[in-house]
Amino acid sequence: MTILITGARGAVGSSVLHGLRAAGHPLRASSRRPEQLRLPVGVRSTDVEVVPLDLARPATFAAALRGVEQVFLYAEPGGIDELVRAAEAAGVRHVVLLSSSAALSPDAEDDPLGRHHLLVERALTWSNLDTTILRPGAFAGNAYGWSQAIRRGDPVDLAYPEALLAPIHEDDIADVAVTALTGNAAVRGRAVTLTGPHGLTLREQVGEIAVRLGRDVPVRRPTRAAAEEQLGRFMPADVAASLLDHQAGTVGIRPEISTAERITGKPGRTFGQWVDEHLDAFRPH
């Protein structure tokens, strides 16, 4: 009854691995670079089989899926139809997909982030696999994007400092995935939207980091074009534009809160808790 965890090097995937290990399930962890996979603290190499898997390369699917009953899946539309077929052939019964609330947007079809997740959701929904879809909003870990500037003592550039989000701690998403993978009938087969417990503007998020560092962290407002250029160094230009449009669209609008607590029974972790756990990333090395 092996569970395959894709993205096991990722923030959510590594937390899923940790949570499932604690529940005592036979586990297989995959990565495109398995040699670089460092198992989470508390997980021994004898506890987990590590395999290569590239979700965009169907040639890697059959071996990774052999004997697998459930999959924790990152969204990669590139090979999804082949993955569905390989999973059905291997006897997989249940997939928990890490999707995105971007898939719920009315213009998701025409939006690069929405479409990326929508294509994977559709392929799974139309398959014979039981599918649980997790649709988180913005991750708390997106704050890593400010770490270099903060470490250097530079201002944080925010095109829309008053963008109002409810950042979710990646461990909360993982807890919901673990709940679904360990047989909770209340969530299995459903699509759930997930947020953190509080709405916070991007400026307030920077403030939470500043308070913990014990110093001021100034915010600077670049032009929209400059912000697109900056973000475009880390992602395709259309994705950067889509992210900024999304931020602009949240200004002044209280986010609907939908925490993991109703599924896991555990209170949603706050953004402040995420910062406490990752503060070293914002301190000069």
Ligand X SMILES: NC(=O)c1ccc[n+]([C@@H]2O[C@H](COP(=O)([O-])OP(=O)(O)OC[C@H]3O[C@@H](n4cnc5c(N)ncnc54)[C@H](OP(=O)(O)O)[C@@H]3O)[C@@H](O)[C@H]2O)c1
Q: Is 239 in the site for ligand X (CB under 6 A)?
A: no
Helix (H) or strand (E) segment spanning residue 63: helix 61-65
Q: Is 13 in the site for ligand X (CB under 6 A)?
A: yes
Query: Measured from the CB of residue 153, what is the shortest distance to ligand X in angstroms?
Result: 26
Half-sphere exposure of 260 (CA within 13 A, CB side): 25
Q: Which of 40, 58, 112, 141 binds ligand X (CB under 6 A)?
A: 141
Q: Which of 61, 139, 146, 160 binds ligand X (CB under 6 A)?
A: 139
Q: Which of 3, 4, 5, 10 binds ligand X (CB under 6 A)?
A: 10
Per CB under 6 A, contacts with ligand X among 36-95 are 53-56, 74-76
The residue written with tokens 């409810």 in the block is 166
The amino acid at residue 197 is: P
Q: Is 32 in the site for ligand X (CB under 6 A)?
A: yes
**Residue 185 or residue 271: which is nearer to ligand X going by CB?**
271
**Residue 100 or residue 258: which is nearer to ligand X going by CB?**
100
**Residue 100 or residue 259: which is nearer to ligand X going by CB?**
100
Q: What is the number of residues in the chain?
A: 285
The residue written with tokens 């400010």 in the block is 146
Query: Measured from the CB of residue 25, what is the shortest distance to ligand X in angstroms?
Result: 19
Q: Is 163 in the site for ligand X (CB under 6 A)?
A: no
Closest of 26, 19, 29 to residue 50, by C-alpha: 29
Q: Is 11 in the site for ligand X (CB under 6 A)?
A: yes
Q: Which of 4, 5, 6, 61 binds ligand X (CB under 6 A)?
A: 6
**Residue 37 or residue 217: which is nearer to ligand X going by CB?**
37
Query: Measured from the CB of residue 214, what is the shortest distance to ligand X in angstroms?
Result: 27
Closest of 164, 188, 166 to residue 176, by C-alpha: 188
Closest of 219, 221, 212 to residue 281, by C-alpha: 212
Q: φ, ψ for residue 183 (rounded to 5)?
A: 100, 20
Bridge partners, 50 (sequence order): 29
Segment contacting ligand X by CB under 6 A, of 9-17, 64-72, 196-204, 218-226: 9-17
Whether residue 274 contacts residue 167, with contact meaning beta carbons closer than 8 Å, is answered with yes
Closest of 158, 170, 166, 169 to residue 244, by C-alpha: 158
- Between CA 222 and CA 230 the distance in angstroms is 10
Number of residues that bind ligand X (CB under 6 A): 25
Phi/psi region, residue 52 (left: phi>0; alpha: psi -120 to 50; beta: rest), is beta
Q: Is 250 in the site for ligand X (CB under 6 A)?
A: no
Q: Is 160 in the site for ligand X (CB under 6 A)?
A: no
List of residues contacting ligand X (CB under 6 A): 6-7, 9-13, 31-33, 53-56, 74-76, 98, 100, 136, 138-139, 141-142, 170
